[in-house]
Amino acid sequence: MVSSAWRGWLAAFAFLASVTALVILSRSTNPSIGFYVAAMSIGSAAVALSLWKSPAITARTVMLVAVAAHGLALFGETRFEDDFYRFIWDGWRVLETGTPYGVAPLDFYDNLAVPPAMQQVLEWINYPELPTIYGPVLQGLFAITTLFSGADPLGLRILFGGATLLISALLLRRFSPEKVALFAWSPMVVAESTLHLHPDILLSLTLVAALYWGRRHPVMGGALLGLAAGVKLVALAAWPVLLRLPPKAMIAAIVALLALYSVFAVQGQGVGFETTATFASDWYFNAVTYELLDAAFGPEFGRLAALGIAGVLVLWAHAIAHDFERVPLGFVFGAILLFAPTVNPWYLVWILPFAVGRREVTPYVASVVLPLSYFTGFNLDDLNLADFDVHPYALVAERLLLAAAIGYDIFRAWQRSPAAQKPKLCPISEPKVSVIIPALNEETSIGKTVQGILKAAPTGLSQVIVADNGSSDDTAQLAREAGASVVYEPERGYGAACLTGLSAVSPDANIILFMDADLSDVPEEAASLLEPIISGEAEMVIGSRALGQVEKGAMTTPQRLGNWLAPALVRMIWRMRYTDLGPFRAVRRSSLDALAMADRDFGWTIEMQVRAAKLDMRVVERPVSYRRRIGQSKISGTIRGVLAAGTKILYVIAREAFGDFGAADRRKARPSDAAKTKDVTISA
């Protein structure tokens, strides 16, 4: 078996040999596209296989080998690609007129004012009938490189190679060297940055930097994400990460992007959006799955369907992330490319930096197979293929290998062994249960509810608290007469009442039981909710009406729909299976404090369940009965209440999934609202 150290050196040799072969071939008079693609693909495969089992490599070795490879690439020539002529032309136009937008290169063909060197560049620009599409950040950088190197692409090589090395350096601050080497030593990364001169590496640089500095410096993180969108608008797919930072990060991103475009917009020749629209609606190349949607829905609706599917996957990827630094941007951009009508091989540099530290094989298989897209009619000189048609055999190989890799990663994720068993909870030897009953104008039922739970006398019952939510009837008086303590919360809201009730809980209470005041819950079933907590089986127990018996007419159709939709979303995002949002529930006191409950109205129950899922608490459900309530419901009894509750529940799920502008982090730094000392009026 090859030792760990030798595998590292083998990867370095394969990397440098591949880059050397690419440089030599690029300088040949008539290089073979077959040998050229083989150098990229075989080199990428050899590097990935050598590094996959984490050989021993130092950070210095990673950087020295990467610098050597990019240094070699500076002596290469750009073959089989001609986009860089547009970059040089755009840079010259910025220097001459202040903007490259609005006028197509074709309009300059007979312009004698164009210098001879730029006339030669002009002859090689692809799609000369279209104005430029590239973003304002790139235009500024193109101007700088053109200023110093003119029509020579050396300035671009240094810029893109330097960006790749900076990414590697930033990744080494977060990940081990052997993991970073999978990116830094990728022949395809060198080929598509320093050799082929594609600016997409600058998109990756700004995104990696944003993730690195964003948590500590939110304004800088936001500004970097604004710069990323100024490189390519596809970076907007990463912007939901800003919801996990304070609001100033989002403001910085918006201001930065608007400022970048404003520099060119004020000149009155546009900012390239017209060509962007042409690209989005008409261009097609090397698609992975888009053909299926095109066949099913036609070109126009096929693109909309692709955008919709990719959009859902992007949002899901952001939602399942646990925190700012772990948002899977590789999956985000991978989902976009999977359904995009145009998939150029250099787009893979959007993904590879964010594959570092993960164990999915798909990005590395893609680095092996996407070079096959260079087998076009033009590069093969095949008269049977259009210039930009990929050879059918290459397309089949790409799709089959990518499908196999994606399937393998999905299978591994599905079969991944569960996390180590959490330490068993200690049973509660002396349970002390406080019951909290929020109530608003429930005089017809509150007495029977309190008497019912006192008569049921579940194990450990020590306190019944009715949180009067500003009742205008005799709710408070009847609750006291029935044997409950009453606390007052004038601010309307189910969550507000529950929080006030919690502030009145006895200090020695170790279990909290919540139930409604309208006799819809069956007090005798409280024991079944408390038993799993007392025994140490669970931290929270939800009384599930979906698993129990619901009296006819007790739940409306909107309630049933909401009780299906919200748990389904929670399961998709946090992999916690719930069947109900029922209010009848019991929670271990210490676990409830850890949830830092804050919602003050309809979002209380879903907030509790989502945060329990995010903290990976032990939650079980027990079937409970549900009776027709006495009196009219404040929520399901009115259309306004139904809409307000439904909207709030979806909002809470979205807030907990995508972030709440850093509020979650601020909550972690202070005691929960439930644990705070609060002045309340209690009457017994």
* Residue 677 confidence (pLDDT): 41
Profile the chain (684 residues) by mean pLDDT over runs of 10 residues.
75 96 95 95 96 87 97 95 95 96 93 92 94 96 96 96 98 95 97 97 97 94 98 96 94 97 94 91 92 89 94 94 88 96 96 94 96 94 90 95 95 68 82 96 94 94 95 94 95 94 95 94 95 95 93 82 90 92 95 93 93 93 89 56 81 91 64 46 56
pTM for the structure as a whole: 0.88
* Residue 672 confidence (pLDDT): 47
* Contact indicator for 539, 609 with CB cutoff of 8 Å: no
The structure tokens listed for 615 are 């903290």
DSSP secondary structure of 437-479: EEESS-TTTHHHHHHHHHHH--TTEEEEEEEE-S-SSSHHHHH
Would you say how long the chain is, in residues?
A: 684
* Contact indicator for 121, 84 with CB cutoff of 8 Å: no
Minimal CA–CA distance to 26: which of 39, 41, 36, 14?
36
* Residue 556 confidence (pLDDT): 79
* Residue 684 confidence (pLDDT): 56
* Contact indicator for 187, 43 with CB cutoff of 8 Å: yes
| Phi, psi (degrees; rounded to nearest 5) at 550 | -110, 120
* Contact indicator for 183, 352 with CB cutoff of 8 Å: yes
Instruction: State the SS3 of 54-79.
Output: CCCCCHHHHHHHHHHHHHHHCCCCCC
Helix 154-172 with 200-213: angle, nearest 10 deg: 30
* Residue 420 confidence (pLDDT): 46
> Which residues are registered as beta bridge partners of 587?
512, 540
Minimal CA–CA distance to 484: which of 442, 443, 432, 449?
449
Exposed/middle/buried for residue 20 (C-beta within 10 Å: 0-12, 13-18, 19+): middle
* CA dist., res. 414 & res. 408, Å (int): 10
* Residue 3 confidence (pLDDT): 66
* CA dist., res. 604 & res. 494, Å (int): 7
The structure tokens listed for 453 are 């739970």
* Residue 424 confidence (pLDDT): 76
* CA dist., res. 534 & res. 557, Å (int): 35
CA angle, 195 as apex, 329 and 260 as ends, to 5°?
Answer: 55
DSSP secondary structure of 531-544: HHHHHTS-SEEEEE
CATH 3.90.550.10 fits 433-683, yes or no: yes
> Which residues are registered as beta bridge partners of 550?
626
Q: How many helices and strands in the chain, by DSSP H and E?
A: 28, 8
* CA dist., res. 559 & res. 88, Å (int): 61
* CA dist., res. 197 & res. 121, Å (int): 15
Side-by-side strand order, sheet with 461-468:
619-623, 540-544, 585-588, 511-514, 433-439, 461-468, 485-488, 682-683
Where do the domains of the chain lie?
433-683
* Residue 670 confidence (pLDDT): 53
The structure tokens listed for 583 are 């209010």
The structure tokens listed for 320 are 């399942």
Minimal CA–CA distance to 338: which of 307, 361, 315, 365?
307
The structure tokens listed for 179 are 């993991």
CB atoms within 10 A of CB 229: 26
* Residue 563 confidence (pLDDT): 86
Listed in sequence order, the residues at least 6 apart from 287 whose beta carbon sits closer than 8 Å to its beta carbon are 340, 341, 342, 343
